[in-house]
Amino acid sequence: MNNAYGRLDAKFAQSLVDIVAAELNKNVNILDDRGVIIASFSRERIGQVHESGARMLKAGIIKEFYVSKEEERYLSGIRQGFNVPIMFENRCIGVIGVTGNQEMAEPYARLAARFVEANVQSNAQQEKLVRALQEKEELRSVFLNKIITIQEEERKRISRELHDETSQSLTSIIVGLRMLAEQVQSSEDKEKILKMRDLAVTTLEAVHHIAVELRPVLLDDLGLVAAAKKYIENYAKQYGISMHIDFSNLSRERFSPEIEITLYRILQEALTNIVKHAQATEVCVSLNKRQDKLILMVHDNGVGFNTEIVKNTHSHTCLGIYGMGERVALVEGTFNIKSAIGQGTKLFVEIPLRGKNNRVL
């Protein structure tokens, strides 16, 4: 059934013909909306024009009609039988005919026509639902993509402001306090000034950390590999976790901004989750390019978890995992997590480099 164009599907029509013909032991035909036989118990008739049906359809007066034995003699492509229009949305999309005398053929022809109409209507409704779901999913993806893009742009803006303005101001304060400490005579005042300077230094480090978390400058300037390596280096120092890194076949290669920020955020989220939940002492991170795919894997030796619980829950603790999956889907990639209690966790991301939104720079 091809409801998108309001036409009968020949395969479905032929299946119906075979069923009805076998039951009645009579010839059955189905015509399309031009009067051409598209299904018939006598296969050699397929493609022939049913003259009586074609006349009725061409005239635009859609009605049931009976072909008599006499009409069969002088009209081409027809046999004695009862014919019923197949209607869909107030439009005739075909005709079904059952051969034989009117008394026997009429009820079967009508029943077969109603059966076809019910199937056409059912399939049309199903197609509408599928289309609606597809449109809803596409719209959701568009909105999600816009939200993530806006978030990243805002993160980038704030990160730049923290790096360029706030950090510079704090640096000026630190330099000024050091110079002031050198000028005062009182050791007590000097100590107070130096404490203020130390506080400013600590604040500067915190601001720098926040700026990097929001949007590392390295990611925009040097790309994913440089930014990821720097993040992992700082992560290992901060949390004392042994890190094993494999970034082979990449060098300084750049990818589309969508791919780079997606993989960076997933790496960030994965390593954050390890600190919060895994109790791991070792983490392996690999980022490799294989043919036209970019593959990220993060593996820890932590306590692991039951992945079935994650699939069946909407707890806020699982939102990070769902968020990673959503991000990967937006760049047409695949996302998978394997874990078991006491056996650590493996995260796998694969992103095509030739997708409609992805490109190598």
Taking alpha carbons only, the member of 346, 198, 218, 224 closest to residue 282 is 346
Mean of per-residue pLDDT scores for the chain: 85
Q: 337-357 pLDDT, tens per residue? A: 999 899 999 999 999 987 655
Residue 249 within a domain: yes
Residue 316 within a domain: yes
Residue 176 within a domain: no
The per-residue DSSP string of 156-223 comes to HHHHHHIIIIIHHHHHHHHHHHHHHHHH---HHHHHHHHHHHHHHHHHHHHHHHHHHHH--HHHHHT-
357 and 224 together in one domain: yes
Q: How many domains does the chain have?
A: 2
Residue 124 within a domain: yes
Which domain CATH number covers 63? Answer: 3.30.450.40
Least trusted range by pLDDT, from 74-78, 90-94, 233-237? 74-78
129 and 233 together in one domain: no
What does the block give as tokens for 116?
């076809």
What does the block give as tokens for 97?
């005919």
Q: What was the pLDDT predicted at 314?
A: 53
Q: What was the pLDDT predicted at 137?
A: 82
pLDDT at 317 over 70: no
Residue that finishes a domain, picked among 108, 135, 162 = 135
Residue 200 within a domain: no
pLDDT at 207 over 80: yes
**pTM assigned to the model:** 0.60
Residue that finishes a domain, picked among 135, 164, 179 = 135
Please give the backbone phi and psi of residue 196, each rounded to the nearest 5 degrees, phi first.
-65, -40
Structural domain boundaries enclosing 347: 218-361
Q: What was the pLDDT predicted at 310?
A: 66
pLDDT at 297 over 50: yes
Residue that finishes a domain, picked among 98, 120, 135 = 135
Q: What was the pLDDT predicted at 3?
A: 43
Residue 343 within a domain: yes
Residue 195 within a domain: no
Residue 323 within a domain: yes
Q: Cα(224)–Cα(245) distance, rounded to whole angstroms? A: 14
Most trustworthy range by pLDDT among 21-35, 65-79, 177-191: 177-191
